[in-house]
Chain A
Amino acid sequence: MSSSICIAIPFIVYMIAMMAIGVFTFKSTSSVEGFALGERKLHPWVAAMSYVFSGCSGWMFMGAAGISYIMGPGAWWMLLGYMIGVLFSFLTIPMRLRNYSGILGAITYPEFFVKRVRDNTNLIRGICSLALIVFIVPYIAAQYSACIKGITSLFDVTPLAALLFSVAVVTIYCMLGGFKAVCVTDYIQGWVILAGGVLISAILVSKAGGWGSMLAALKEIDPTLMTANLGKAGAALLGFVWYSFTTVFVVIGRPHDTIRNFAIENSKQAYEMALFGQIALLINYWTSWMIGYAGRVFFPNLADPETIFPSVLTLINPWIAGILFAALLALLMSTVDSQLLSVATTLSVDLYKGFINKEASDKKVVSLSRIAVLVVSVLGAYICYRTPQSVMWLTLYASGGLSATFGPSLMLSLYWKRFNKQGAIASMLSGLLAVIIWYKTPFRATIIHEGLVGWIVGLVVGVAASLMTEPIDQAQIEEEFAYIRQPHE
């Protein structure tokens, strides 16, 4: 049996299993809350895995492995920046957001802001929908781009065939199973990713002759692979570290992972979710990094470093490679499905029910959500096919845009009682525009990431606009804040 077939069989079995989960969870999606939040009964470990792997995306085994291939330990400046961003999110958001979304009865992310700042104009729903479409669709395109790279590196298929296959699998289970299917598949995929990552790291180090021999081989390829400073010193090093840490802000408040906080059973579980999520993230970062770092011993001159993961799969037993390849696709799909769901529920709940048909039944909204999943997925695939770009940078841009649009408003909503409707609208619009404008300047890749620029602008403008306008009824807000400050069972 050829190695391609050996790789393909476990991979295809895995894909069928994911679609089956969509079919089995179909029955729990008859209500909007069921489709969008899984009835708020998510186990903290499931929520944690789903949170982490919705955020990790194909960036990990493709983009992060690629920069690890190039930078070695120095890649951890950027990875640590992300970890600190996630740590900050876990310390500040889950408990309060679970409490607040519960008492407000918010089902979608935009709906939380609408109810928190008492927006009766629906302007916030419109801005949120715009931001989700502007940033999440290219984000989905980046994930599909990673799928194409992975599949075409291992199988003799055209990019179009690889794209169509990926789109079909993700779209089907996401359309059918909604939030619950997304979370359950994320949970299973999370374990596959962690186990696969650990396994392939161990295989690579062992094949390189052990840790010491691996380092020696890497040092011969490039001595800077031993150091955290990438051979830089002084201002050049400081500039790199500074830029890497500005990416802290690209993970805070993104809708497709933050929404998991709505769905845990109670806010006390938020701490368990955070701890488990951070540990899973750490293992995933270590293994993704190791794939790029150790992989360089065997493939020192790859034209595209982002193809290191599929390249190292050719070194190992094809049956195991098939399972590990499924782990890569799991990473991509666990992100795409969450993003599809975010946009779909926003379009159906926030735009359709919020603007067009306020009396729409649950059944109609859920049906519309399923159609929206299909439309957005096809749109992302089209962008991916027309404009293939680096997974790494496209993901960073989209992630930064989402974070800058929603992050400042989220933090102000949870920690500042004076925050109001005008502040939220101004913060979201200015954050969104700042990212798009900064992205077009020549400074973005060298001085400061657009995500941080958007965050600062969004925060300052949000505070200023709130202070200049009428506050919300403070007695009611006081009462809400008194409740959200404490964990509840």
Chain B
Amino acid sequence: MTGIPQVQCRLAPDRASVGCGERCRSSAHVMEVGVRLAMHRRRFSEGIRFIGRLQSRSEQAGWEVSHGGREGLPLLRAYLPVIYHQYIRNIAKIHYQKKDIGFARRTSTQTQGGGTMGASWTLGSWLLVVVLPILTCVVLYDQYRKYGR
């Protein structure tokens, strides 16, 4: 425990941002989530997993998540693990308060989704960057197996 810093997470209809500091404050206008939590560095790896799950779940719910830039990442890694269980369970109806974690109720009826979040590659990207290049090596391995040994 090294203190109780504050992380603000805001979700907008066109773009949701989970991060800290000025970047987040300027990006949202529909939903505001204020989170105060204790720094808990022992849960670092959990935090990394959390970011991935947060993004995929948010995307399923029609939102997209961006982390608020490089400066926000260290804070995210440290703080977000603490809230991830609660957040994921309540992703569709964010209204949750427990101990030192507070979420504000969604205040808009605007539709969710679109925008910049849920960063993941398309299937085409995986095929182009990973699968097809590996196939070129497989073809040559087959040749080597037949004639080169």
Which of A's residues lie within 8 Å of B, judged by CB? 72-73, 76-77, 79-80, 83-84, 86-87, 90-91, 95, 208-210, 212-213, 215-220, 223, 226-229, 268-272, 274-275, 278-279, 282, 285-286, 289, 297-298, 487
Do A226 and B121 have beta carbons less than 8 Å apart? yes
User: What are 19 A-B contacts defined by CB distance under 8 Å?
Assistant: A73-B124, A76-B133, A79-B133, A80-B132, A80-B133, A95-B147, A208-B70, A209-B67, A219-B66, A219-B116, A220-B66, A220-B116, A227-B121, A271-B140, A271-B147, A275-B143, A275-B148, A278-B136, A278-B137
Choose from B66, B139, B148 the contact partner of A270 (Cβ within 8 Å).
B148
Chain A residues, CB < 8 A from B140:
87, 90-91, 271, 274-275, 278
Do A219 and B148 have beta carbons less than 8 Å apart? no
Assess whether B129 is interfacial by the CB under 8 Å rule: yes
| Nearest-Cβ distance from residue A218 to partner chain B, whole angstroms | 7
Assess whether B117 is interfacial by the CB under 8 Å rule: yes
Chain A residues, CB < 8 A from B147:
95, 268, 271, 487
**A-B contact sample (16 more), CB < 8 A, given A91-B139, A213-B73:** A76-B129, A86-B136, A210-B48, A212-B120, A213-B51, A217-B67, A217-B69, A217-B70, A219-B116, A219-B117, A219-B119, A226-B122, A228-B124, A275-B140, A282-B133, A282-B134
Do B73 and A282 have beta carbons less than 8 Å apart? no
| Nearest-Cβ distance from residue B71 to partner chain A, whole angstroms | 11
Assess whether B141 is interfacial by the CB under 8 Å rule: yes
| Nearest-Cβ distance from residue B118 to partner chain A, whole angstroms | 8
Assess whether B21 is interfacial by the CB under 8 Å rule: no
Do A271 and B148 have beta carbons less than 8 Å apart? yes
Choose from A83, A95, A298 the contact partner of B136 (Cβ within 8 Å).
A83
Assess whether B65 is interfacial by the CB under 8 Å rule: yes
Complex: A79 Cα to B140 Cα, angstroms: 18
| Nearest-Cβ distance from residue B131 to partner chain A, whole angstroms | 10
Complex: A76 Cα to B143 Cα, angstroms: 25
Chain A residues, CB < 8 A from B120:
212, 215, 226
Do B134 and A212 have beta carbons less than 8 Å apart? no
Choose from B51, B117, B128, B141 the contact partner of A77 (Cβ within 8 Å).
B128
Complex: A80 Cα to B127 Cα, angstroms: 11
Which of B's residues lie within 8 Å of A, judged by CB? 48, 51-52, 55, 65-67, 69-70, 73, 76-77, 116-117, 119-122, 124-125, 127-129, 132-134, 136-137, 139-141, 143-144, 147-148
Complex: A209 Cα to B141 Cα, angstroms: 35
Complex: A218 Cα to B121 Cα, angstroms: 11
Complex: A470 Cα to B117 Cα, angstroms: 68
Chain A residues, CB < 8 A from B148:
268-272, 275, 487
Do B117 and A216 have beta carbons less than 8 Å apart? yes
Known A216-B55, A217-B67, A226-B125: A271·B117 in contact at CB below 8 Å? no
How many A-B pairs have beta carbons closer than 8 Å: the answer is 123
Chain A residues, CB < 8 A from B119:
212, 215-219, 226
Chain A residues, CB < 8 A from B73:
208-209, 213
Complex: A228 Cα to B144 Cα, angstroms: 31
Chain B residues, CB < 8 A from A72:
125
**For residue A211, which residue of chain B has the nearest CB?**
B52
Chain B residues, CB < 8 A from A220:
66, 69, 116
Complex: A73 Cα to B147 Cα, angstroms: 35
**For residue A285, which residue of chain B has the nearest CB?**
B133
Chain B residues, CB < 8 A from A77:
128
Complex: A370 Cα to B137 Cα, angstroms: 37
Complex: A268 Cα to B147 Cα, angstroms: 7
Complex: A385 Cα to B148 Cα, angstroms: 46
Do A228 and B122 have beta carbons less than 8 Å apart? yes
Chain B residues, CB < 8 A from A297:
70
Q: 4 closest pairs, A vs B, by CB?
A: A271-B148, A215-B119, A216-B119, A73-B125
Do B116 and A73 have beta carbons less than 8 Å apart? no
Complex: A250 Cα to B120 Cα, angstroms: 33
**For residue A216, which residue of chain B has the nearest CB?**
B119
Known A219-B66, A271-B144, A274-B144: A227·B137 in contact at CB below 8 Å? no
Chain A residues, CB < 8 A from B124:
73, 227-229
Complex: A76 Cα to B129 Cα, angstroms: 6
Complex: A84 Cα to B128 Cα, angstroms: 12
Chain A residues, CB < 8 A from B121:
73, 215, 226-227
